[in-house]
Homo-oligomer: A and B are copies of this chain.
Amino acid sequence: MMHLPRGDSLSFKEVDKKTEQVAKVLNGAGIKEGDRVSVHLSNKPETVIILLALQAVKAIAHCVNTRLSPEEIIYQVKDCSAALFISDSLELMNEVRSITKTLEVGHIFNSENHIFMSDNDQRSFEWDDTCSIMYTSGTTGKPKGVIQSYGNHYHSATASSIHLSIINQDCWYCAVPIFHVSGFSIIVRSLVTGCSFYLAETYNQEELCTLIQQEQVTIASVVTVMLLRFHEQWNLTTIPTTFKGFLVGGGPVPKWLLQELTEKGFNLFQTYGMTETCSQVVTLSPEKAATKIGSVGLPLLHTDIKIDKLDGSGVGEILVKGPTVTKGYWGLPEVTSNAFVNGWFKTGDIGYLDQDEFLYIKDRRSDLIISGGENIYPAEIESVLLAHPNVEQVAVIGVQSTEWGQSPSACIVLSDHVLDIRSVELDLIHLCHEKLASYKHPVHFHFMESLPMTSSMKIKRHELKALLESEQS
């Protein structure tokens, strides 16, 4: 059952029927097994149906972050050579049309297309078959398509549901985007366990309060910024026993918030995961929250983690193994092979395990900035800024933000001859606007004489971060 705002809902049977219809439209558009189809849509019921219809025709869903700039989107569409681009933005479709076929979402659902599909079309998949591709950037700054198989999704859903004691009576609140694995995985858990989900197009704390109060949702996936707003909104003294709690991913939760929500009686399942592991790697049960402060919990069923220790202290890079781990990056065999060591996926994040095997995150992979649940890789912004002829050196740093957790801030060294710094700044703002999703735009440009460097000529990012934060306070 998919619940929608304003009391609407679609049963599994209705979803299935619509899925069959859309599958016929996709067939009619020439989509066949293995084709990549870009889905550039927000959290709408049509999006869910299109994603399922792609499975029905055994095509691969390329899930597009709708917040990205046209240039960023076009890069991905080209990279995975999508056979079709589905969107509700006519403007964007105009831009994409030169590289692939486009289909407007309204057209799909109004279509009278009734191409014959054999009744015997069994929807069965091998676990290794690719289901979806989601792009993520990295230290190099070049977005890479993470290949997610049916097995990845399936095993994540079963393990997550068991870890969180989800049964078919539950209803999952989904305001996190379904183009991200956090949202996509809610759909899969619903298919696997028979639980319902409530699909919210955008997050609205008032709506969530009402849904919890009226016992319409029993669990909610959120990022910290949503929790902050929810915390401000919630003013009841009792919580219905039907509400199991919040699954909080996408960066750490401030301790005061954790404490205050716990005091109000809310359960928080803190979690650590990534696109490459198809969502959760470890999750902290609320009953352990008090004794394991700062931990992100224990691995899910059949997921193994270990630390590639840097020294005797037990701290090191977090490695992950298990059936939810990606086969690799689309079209990048070398990058893929470098991402693994002896079958273990290298997360790039730094952490340690305590004596009870609980995981603690010390430092996010290299210089990752997490802003409102979105991952921002400085290299991506830096390469845009470096394109300006007057920029000599640049370092993008995540600075604390009360609302978003972190925001990107740019430290820039200009070439000597620049006279009008303000004019360059306006150029840079324009550049970012043109090339980057708005959540990636630096909140500040700091023009500096030089950047602090290590002896091996690496930028001392921690030093810059400390400097910016001291200026902030």
Contacts and interface: CB of A to CB of B under 8 A. Distances in A.
Contacts of A302: 154
A424 interface: no
Contacts of A301: 158, 192
A338 interface: no
A165 interface: yes
A366 interface: no
A194 B163 CA distance: 9
Contacts of A158: 158-159, 162, 301
Interface in A260-316: 301-302, 304
A43 B122 CA distance: 42
Interface string A182-202: 000000000011100000000
Given A154-B302, A167-B167, A192 B162 contact: yes
Contact of A165 (B154, B159, B169): B169
Q: How large is the interface on A (under 10, 10 to 19, 20 to 34, 35 or more residues)?
A: 10 to 19
B304 A193 contact: no
A161 interface: yes
A190 to B, nearest CB: 12
A241 interface: no
Interface string A111-148: 00000000000101000000000000000000000000
A168 interface: yes
Contacts of A165: 167-169
A122 B304 CA distance: 10
A192 B124 CA distance: 25
Nearest to A162: B193
A304 B192 CA distance: 14
A342 to B, nearest CB: 13
A161 B302 CA distance: 16
Contacts of A193: 162
A263 to B, nearest CB: 24
A321 B161 CA distance: 24
A122 B305 CA distance: 11
Nearest to A159: B158
Contact of A162 (B122, B161, B304): B161
B162 A124 contact: no
A123 to B, nearest CB: 10
A258 to B, nearest CB: 23
A158 B160 CA distance: 11
A127 to B, nearest CB: 8
A161 B168 CA distance: 11
A206 B333 CA distance: 63
A194 B159 CA distance: 12
A159 to B, nearest CB: 8
Interface of A: 122, 124, 154, 158-159, 161-162, 165, 167-169, 192-194, 301-302, 304, 321
18 contacts: A122-B304, A124-B304, A124-B321, A154-B302, A158-B158, A158-B159, A158-B162, A158-B301, A161-B162, A162-B162, A162-B192, A162-B193, A162-B194, A165-B167, A165-B168, A165-B169, A167-B167, A192-B301
Given A122-B304, A158-B158, A165-B169, 14 more contacts: A124-B304, A124-B321, A154-B302, A158-B159, A158-B301, A161-B162, A162-B162, A162-B192, A162-B193, A162-B194, A165-B167, A165-B168, A167-B167, A192-B301
The 5 closest A-B pairs by CB, nearest first: A165-B167, A158-B158, A162-B193, A124-B304, A165-B168
